[in-house]
């Protein structure tokens, strides 16, 4: 049974325990990711935060203090020790806007694209010194996510929850593999059939708490919407308050998920896209500062003067009037680029109170001035010396009547945007929100090689069960649970959609004027794929790769000589001379095979026959060789070049040797041809002999044939040397043993 080491934060082993029955591995997308170890001890061990386990399933740490249970029967201590995935410890750290400074801002807002928000996560992790085996964390945003600006409010939230909240906001999922924080749809691979009665022994349905909807009544934001926007009967009530919100284009009261639905088929739901509103993206120019002096009253009653710079700017792309400000509302801008990207501030229009119009009725350019109101919403006074506006920064203004500048067509554009987003949302809302628990058959999961048929998170699946689906349903794995001791023992997979895809509740989205679609964004120079290095113990999955150096260490080469100090197995190898199967080669040079076929030559120092030795044809015990090539010389003799069986192999034939060879003609009539020759001389460096073929009258059978390539020739005597005139051979064809 396999053992596992539990180590403290310094790497010292606290406990080595068996992977006992009841030890579990469990994962649920954006909910849990842990292993649970069950064991008992005579004396308790206190596993502090940061204690960890590194095993085939990954790296796991103690993220919550846990206590054992006292066993009254054994007077020992029973543990069910939960170790969460290494990134789960982020839940113990507050998500900060400026983690590099001493500021402790725990509550803050930021309107920015996902890559900007995720970049702050990386800064938090770097400030904490968190890495994955020495590699800094990066993020990856896949092509299913529109990397648009969204308003995020963080109120004493931890880093892990912040990641999950970002995923919900951008209508996607978040998961972590090695050093990569993924945002997108967790789905990969070709669809695998999960069929009840075939490889699934039990399939259960869990009703989602989400609401299934096919008819969507959609509303946008209240921003920049005047009181006379639509007739009074077209209002929406939110939390008991009548609100004037952006609506779908006139003539489109709702969006249906299917065309031509009957009244009974329509499942209605109201959705508010709270940050779709009429807006214009302005560009700052002529950014200047003006010195402001504040008097600060001290505790002792004295006052101190504090001087700081207020920032002002102009926007030549539009002429604004104080009359455009909505009653009871404050003008605010949100930066869409620059150093203050995503941050929001109140602004004053025409702070010096100059006339808006000239005597000729034209606009007064001196009045088109804006001043940014400094605030401390982000942990320090901003704008400041480090983060400040610059010429060319983009911004979006709110708090004004967007119908006043009709030539911009802002209201119509916003209504059309709301319609497009509602159509996309309706397409998602009609998806079956249920999840399905699939308990797999053990024989389907088991593989003899130990690499069991286990599926990773995101694996595409075809659910086949006539009780639930008429034609099946394609989804993906969003969770799994299996035993650590016998991973193939009825693993359970959760298949379906997550809340980010099936929920029908309040949905808040915000769109920047310029959005980037169909792209994959990777933060901090990462590639989106984790690379397992030479000395990295990270287990291999379907979603990471080995480095080039790691591959050279692990895999045998095909382009040059290579070797290994470990056992090589072929097929399903069992090491046994009686019950074995397959083939194996051991580091000590021992090999075991079912059958060995040698086309060239086999050289043995010793042959041990376990039972019966059987041979076909004739066996000759004398000098021999294989003819590699034949050359007929002008004097009627033949030069035979003999094949070398090893590097320093030279022919043992001598002058006067009578050599005999036999070859068949199996490709045509099947006859056997014999060649009788006498050695005239030999050339040792060339490993060749010069021979004279005997006439037909001097050979057995009365017919002699010339030598041919690949014929095996043996010595059968010598014409002159009596010491070489004997030989020994066994014949299965002539019943002779000489």
- Considering only CA atoms, which of 727, 714, 726, 728 is closest in space to residue 651? 714
Q: For the chain, give the mean pLDDT.
A: 84
| pLDDT, tens digit (0-9, with 9 covering 90-100), for 464-510 | 999 988 888 888 999 999 999 888 899 999 998 754 333 223 333 32
Q: How many helices (H) and strands (E) does the chain have?
A: 6, 46
Predicted local confidence at residue 1, as pLDDT: 57
Predicted local confidence at residue 33, as pLDDT: 96
Q: What is the bridge-based pairing of β-strands 107-112 and 150-155? A: antiparallel
Structural tokens at position 16: 């080595």
Predicted local confidence at residue 202, as pLDDT: 94
Distance between CA atoms of residues 559 and 183, nearest Å: 40
Predicted local confidence at residue 557, as pLDDT: 78
* Interval 129-148 mean pLDDT: 92
Instruction: Please count the other Cβ atoms lying within 10 Å of the Cβ belonging to residue 719.
Output: 12
Percentage of the chain with pLDDT > 70? 85
Domain topology for 105-184 = Phage tail protein beta-alpha-beta fold (3.55.50)
Q: What is the band of 543 on the pLDDT scale with cuts at 50, 70, 90?
A: low
Contact in structure between 543 and 177 (CB atoms under 8 Å): yes
366 compared with 378, residue with greater pLDDT: 366
Contact in structure between 355 and 365 (CB atoms under 8 Å): no
Q: What is the band of 511 on the pLDDT scale with cuts at 50, 70, 90?
A: very low
Distance between CA atoms of residues 50 and 429, nearest Å: 41
- Coil vs helix vs strand at 727: coil
Q: Is pLDDT at 36 greater than 70 in this prediction?
A: yes
CA distances 296 to 95, 272, 300, 305, 375, Å, are 31, 44, 12, 6, 16
Predicted local confidence at residue 610, as pLDDT: 61
DSSP-derived letter for residue 645 is S
CATH 3.40.50.620 fits 618-731, yes or no: no
Residues in the chain: 738
Predicted local confidence at residue 434, as pLDDT: 81
* Interval 229-241 mean pLDDT: 54
CATH number, domain 188-210+432-498, options 2.40.160.20, 3.40.50.300, 2.30.300.10, 1.10.10.60: 2.30.300.10
Q: Which of 160-169, 283-292, 502-511, 708-717 has the lowest mean pLDDT?
A: 502-511
- Considering only CA atoms, which of 428, 513, 420, 423 is closest in space to residue 171? 428
CA distances 379 to 112, 114, 382, Å, are 17, 21, 9
Predicted local confidence at residue 282, as pLDDT: 96
- Considering only CA atoms, which of 170, 401, 390, 115 is closest in space to residue 280? 401
Q: How many Cα atoms are found within 13 Å in the side-chain-facing hemisphere of 436?
A: 27
Q: What is the band of 545 on the pLDDT scale with cuts at 50, 70, 90?
A: confident
Residues 6+ apart with CB under 8 A from 464: 193, 194, 195, 196, 198, 472
| pLDDT, tens digit (0-9, with 9 covering 90-100), for 654-682 | 999 999 998 876 555 667 788 999 999 99
Full DSSP string of 240-288: TEEE---BPPTT---EESSTT--TTT--EEEEEEEE-----EEE-EEEE
Distance between CA atoms of residues 259 and 34, nearest Å: 45
- Considering only CA atoms, which of 181, 284, 103, 290 is closest in space to residue 528? 181
100 compared with 53, residue with greater pLDDT: 53
CA distances 539 to 57, 77, 243, 244, 530, Å, are 7, 32, 54, 55, 11
**Start-to-end CA span in the chain (Å):** 61
- Considering only CA atoms, which of 395, 396, 399 is closest in space to residue 324? 399
Question: Dihedral (C-alpha) 481, 501, 206, 477: value to the nearest 10 degrees?
Answer: -30
pTM: 0.55
Element (DSSP H or E) covering residue 126:
helix 114-128
Q: What is the band of 516 on the pLDDT scale with cuts at 50, 70, 90?
A: very low
* Interval 715-725 mean pLDDT: 91
- Considering only CA atoms, which of 453, 477, 442 is closest in space to residue 463? 477
Q: What is the band of 453 on the pLDDT scale with cuts at 50, 70, 90?
A: confident
Contact in structure between 306 and 314 (CB atoms under 8 Å): no
Instruction: Please count the other Cβ atoms lying within 10 Å of the Cβ belonging to residue 562.
Output: 10
Structural tokens at position 423: 């159509």
Q: Please list the alpha-helical segments (H only) found in 389-543.
A: 410-429, 442-445, 499-502
CA distances 460 to 220, 308, 407, 580, Å, are 35, 58, 49, 39
Contact in structure between 103 and 380 (CB atoms under 8 Å): yes
Structural tokens at position 313: 């700017």
Structural tokens at position 13: 């082993």
| pLDDT, tens digit (0-9, with 9 covering 90-100), for 420-437 | 999 888 887 777 678 899
Q: Is pLDDT at 524 greater than 80 in this prediction?
A: no
Predicted local confidence at residue 522, as pLDDT: 45
Q: Is pLDDT at 518 greater than 60 in this prediction?
A: no
Q: What is the band of 514 on the pLDDT scale with cuts at 50, 70, 90?
A: very low
| pLDDT, tens digit (0-9, with 9 covering 90-100), for 307-348 | 999 999 999 999 999 999 999 999 999 999 998 988 899 999
């Amino acid at each position: 049974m396999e053992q596992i080491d539990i180590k403290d934060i310094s790497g010292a082993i606290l406990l080595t325990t068996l992977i006992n029955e009841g030890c579990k591995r469990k994962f649920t997308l954006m909910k849990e990711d842990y292993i649970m170890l069950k064991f008992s001890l005579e004396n308790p061990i206190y596993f502090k935060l940061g204690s960890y386990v590194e095993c085939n399933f990954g790296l796991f740490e103690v993220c919550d203090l846990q206590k054992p249970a006292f066993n009254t029967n054994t007077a020992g201590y029973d543990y069910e020790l939960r170790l969460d995935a290494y990134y789960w410890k982020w839940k113990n750290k507050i998500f900060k806007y400026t983690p590099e400074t001493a500021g402790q801002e725990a509550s803050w807002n930021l309107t920015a694209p996902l890559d900007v928000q995720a970049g702050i996560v990386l800064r938090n992790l770097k400030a904490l010194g968190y890495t994955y085996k020495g590699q800094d964390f990066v993020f990856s945003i896949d092509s299913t996510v529109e990397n648009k600006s969204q308003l995020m409010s963080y109120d004493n939230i931890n880093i892990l929850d912040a990641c999950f909240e970002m995923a919900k906001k951008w209508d996607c999922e978040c998961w972590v593999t090695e050093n990569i924080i993924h945002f997108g749809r967790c789905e990969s691979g070709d669809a695998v059939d999960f069929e009840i009665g075939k490889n699934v022994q039990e399939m259960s349905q869990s009703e989602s708490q989400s609401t299934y909807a096919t008819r969507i009544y959609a509303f946008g934001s209240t921003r920049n919407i005047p009181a006379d926007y639509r007739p009074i009967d077209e209002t929406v009530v939110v939390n008991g308050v009548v609100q004037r919100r952006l609506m779908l284009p006139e003539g489109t009261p709702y969006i249906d998920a299917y065309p031509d639905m009957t009244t009974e088929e329509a499942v209605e739901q109201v959705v508010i896209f709270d940050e779709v509103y009429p807006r214009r993206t302005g560009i700052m120019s002529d950014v200047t500062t003006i010195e402001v002096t504040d008097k600060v009253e001290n505790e002792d009653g004295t006052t101190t003067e504090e001087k700081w710079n207020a920032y002002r700017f102009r926007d030549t792309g539009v002429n604004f009037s104080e009359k455009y400000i909505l009653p009871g509302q404050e003008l605010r801008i949100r930066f869409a680029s620059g150093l203050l990207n995503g941050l929001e501030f109140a602004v004053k229009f025409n702070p010096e109170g100059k006339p808006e119009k000239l005597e000729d009725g034209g606009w007064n350019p001196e009045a088109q001035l804006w001043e940014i109101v400094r605030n401390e919403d982000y942990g320090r006074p901003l704008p400041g010396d480090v983060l400040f506006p610059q010429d060319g920064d983009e911004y979006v203004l709110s708090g004004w009547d967007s119908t006043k500048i009709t030539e911009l067509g802002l209201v119509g554009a916003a209504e059309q945007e709301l319609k497009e987003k509602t159509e996309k949302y309706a397409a998602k809302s009609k998806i079956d929100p249920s999840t399905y628990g699939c308990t797999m058959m053990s024989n389907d999961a088991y593989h003899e090689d130990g690499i069991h048929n286990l599926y990773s998170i995101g694996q595409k699946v075809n659910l086949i069960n006539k009780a639930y689906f008429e034609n099946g349903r394609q989804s993906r794995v969003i969770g799994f649970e299996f035993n650590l001791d016998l991973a193939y023992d009825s693993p359970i997979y959760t298949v379906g959609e997550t809340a980010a895809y099936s929920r029908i509740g309040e949905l808040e989205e915000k769109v920047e004027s310029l959005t980037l679609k169909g792209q994959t964004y990777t933060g901090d120079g990462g590639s989106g794929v984790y690379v397992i290095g030479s000395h990295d113990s990270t287990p291999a999955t379907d979603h990471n790769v080995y480095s080039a150096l790691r591959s050279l260490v692990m895999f045998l080469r095909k382009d040059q000589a290579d070797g290994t100090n470990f056992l090589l197995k072929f097929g399903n190898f069992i090491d046994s001379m009686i019950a074995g199967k397959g083939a194996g080669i051991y580091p000590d040079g021992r090999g075991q095979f079912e059958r060995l076929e040698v086309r060239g030559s086999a050289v043995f120092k010793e042959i041990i026959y376990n039972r019966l030795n059987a041979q076909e044809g004739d066996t000759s015990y004398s000098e021999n060789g294989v003819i590699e090539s034949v050359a007929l010389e002008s004097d009627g003799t033949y030069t035979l070049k003999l094949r070398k069986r090893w590097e320093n192999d030279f022919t043992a034939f001598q002058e006067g040797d009578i050599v005999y060879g036999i070859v068949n003609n199996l490709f045509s009539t099947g006859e056997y041809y014999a060649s009788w020759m006498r050695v005239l001389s030999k050339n040792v460096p060339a490993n060749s002999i010069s021979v004279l073929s005997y006439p037909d009258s001097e050979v057995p059978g009365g017919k002699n044939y010339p030598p041919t390539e690949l014929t095996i020739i043996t010595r059968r005597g010598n014409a002159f040397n009596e010491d070489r005139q004997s030989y020994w051979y066994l014949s299965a064809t002539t019943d002779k043993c000489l």
